[in-house]
Amino acid sequence: SSSSSSSPGSRSILRDISGENADQKDRAVELNSSNFDSVLSDTPAKYAIVEFFAHWCPACRNYKPHYEKVARLFNGPDAIHPGIVLMTRVDCAMKTNTKLCDRFSVSHYPMLFWGSPSKFVSGSGEPKKEKSEIVVIDDARTAERLLKWINKQTQSSYGLDDKKFENEHVRTNITDYKQISQAVYDIEEATAEAFDIILSNKVIKSSETSASFIRFIQLLAAHHASRRCRKGAAEILVNYDDLCPSGKCSYDSSGGNDTLGSFPICGKDLPRGYYMFCRGSRNDTRGFSCGLWVLFHSLSVRIEDGESQFAFNTICDFVNNFFMCDECRLHFNDMCLSVKTPFKKARDFVLWVWSTHNKVNERLMKDEASLGSGDPEFPKIIWPPRALCPSCYLSSDEKSIEWDHDNVYKFLKSYYGPKLVSLYKEKSVVGSKEETVSATAEDLTVATNALVVPVGAALAIAVASCAFGALACYWRTQQKNRKYCRGEAGTEVLEAELLMFP
Ligand SMILES: Cc1cc2nc3c(=O)[nH]c(=O)nc-3n(C[C@H](O)[C@H](O)[C@H](O)COP(=O)(O)OP(=O)(O)OC[C@H]3O[C@@H](n4cnc5c(N)ncnc54)[C@H](O)[C@@H]3O)c2cc1C
């Protein structure tokens, strides 16, 4: 659609790598002085290689196929070993990159550097120390030699002929703990993908879908496990009245700053075009729908008791309105409708999402067995398996499992809570501390004033006063204060605010 193909900037670079013509595209990511720091500080990859070259240099041109051959293994939507090495290049013959190339004392072309991505970023720690942690790759003349270097550094045995399947053998050896710690990147990916689907299908059509969208964005702004998605969601909230006046959104992504399409929900470098925790052994399995489940679980363990019914409604409506898999949303909606008493405890909601997911698993287990449509490496199971959480099981036989719900809850809280974000690199924000005590106090003031301030402006104040993490407290305090103002709000309280607390 026009809205997704015309997005500007580095997003389109990433889009290109993941696009339909992926085969002809370069897998190494082209960096320049303006995206260098942001791409390298945001990448989930453990290592990075930066190739400094000049487009006029014939040897560089000849080297490119070698570099790409290796990049194919690690980058792009069909990477065999995703999330390990980010391979990039910088054209030093571009005037705009001169300073950047100087920073690394580039002395010849091509010149390759190896290090942890964050060490390449300017101003990340002491510059002197940093230098020594970035090393020049001295023998990378061919694809084979470059890969040999990488293997030595990572103590691995990647091969240029590796096939996707071998990767799955590698990953089954990784402990589940390591796997879930990669999932935070997948929920970012799924969030960005969901948002793109909403945009390209222009599905915010009525006041009902608009309300459902706002509630979901609120939930994300307050409780998404990824800071950059919280931030992006908050920015959409702040500007929502302008982006979607009376629920009529402008989707165009080329039309300047005043369209929904110009607000990437998890930052401009997402989607990246690959999943890690949710990566299937085939191209068409897992991915987005897996990421969406993990997003729901990760949200459920982050909410408080008072938000549980709101979160339940929000997720049910979101699936119903925006998850464009008909069978999925119909079944899910049935399960939502079968809930008769409102949720009062976050625990009950966490366990509801878990058991609902298991009901889907149980149904799909049969479907996939008879149709052969599942991912052979990831058969559906009733989850968590005993090996992952022994204490979750009271007893089990062929037909049924008797769960220890307290322990299941504890397990879910930890698995989708701290474990999920344990390896996540949060960028420190200059001059602001997240969710400090003083920020909370400030928020309380904002929340009280907000009763007479349009929601966009109120959120803008909250955002400006204490950065994005504090939006959670803003939202929570709003929720607590809300009961005092029903009916007396007057015209200034906007639709969005009322929708928060239906
Ligand atoms: C709301 C929703 C409804 C869906 N309905 C359908 C449908 O009707 N028909 C259909 O064909 N597909 C449906 N899907 C897709 C399907 O559920 C899977 O997402 C997809 O088949 C990919 O499966 P997966 O192996 O990646 O694991 P997923 O089921 O996507 O699970 C992702 C990960 O979550 C963890 N997990 C698994 N079970 C649980 C649990 N009970 N609690 C907590 N964590 C768990 C595991 O680590 C798993 O790898 C639906 C998806 C969603 C989000």
- Complex prediction ipTM: 0.99
Element (H, E) at 212: helix 207-223
Does 108 or 282 have the greater pLDDT score? 108
Distance 420 CA to ligand 1 centre (A): 17
**For position 4, what pLDDT does the model report?**
40
485 is catalytic: no
For residue range 416-447, list pLDDT tens digits in order: 999 998 877 654 433 344 433 223 323 322 33
The answer to whether the pTM exceeds 0.90 is: no
Distance 499 CA to ligand 1 centre (A): 29
Cα separation, 477 vs 47, in Å, equals 41
Secondary structure (3-state) at 491: helix
**For position 258, what pLDDT does the model report?**
77
The Cβ of residue 317 has, within 10 Å, a number of other Cβ atoms equal to 19
Distance 120 CA to ligand 1 centre (A): 37
Question: Nearest C-alpha to atom 34 of ligand 1 is from which residue?
Answer: 294
Question: Nearest C-alpha to atom 32 of ligand 1 is from which residue?
Answer: 290
Cα separation, 289 vs 309, in Å, equals 23
Question: Does the C-beta of 331 come closer than 6 Å to ligand 1?
Answer: yes
Taking CA atoms, 18 is separated from 198, 273, 274, 316, 373, in Å, by: 18, 5, 8, 30, 24
The Cβ of residue 156 has, within 10 Å, a number of other Cβ atoms equal to 14
Q: What percent of the chain has pLDDT over 90?
A: 46
Cα separation, 34 vs 45, in Å, equals 20
For residue range 102-149, list pLDDT tens digits in order: 999 998 899 999 999 999 997 654 444 445 689 999 889 999 999 999
Side-chain-side CA neighbours of 493 within 13 Å: the count stands at: 19
- Average pLDDT in the chain: 78
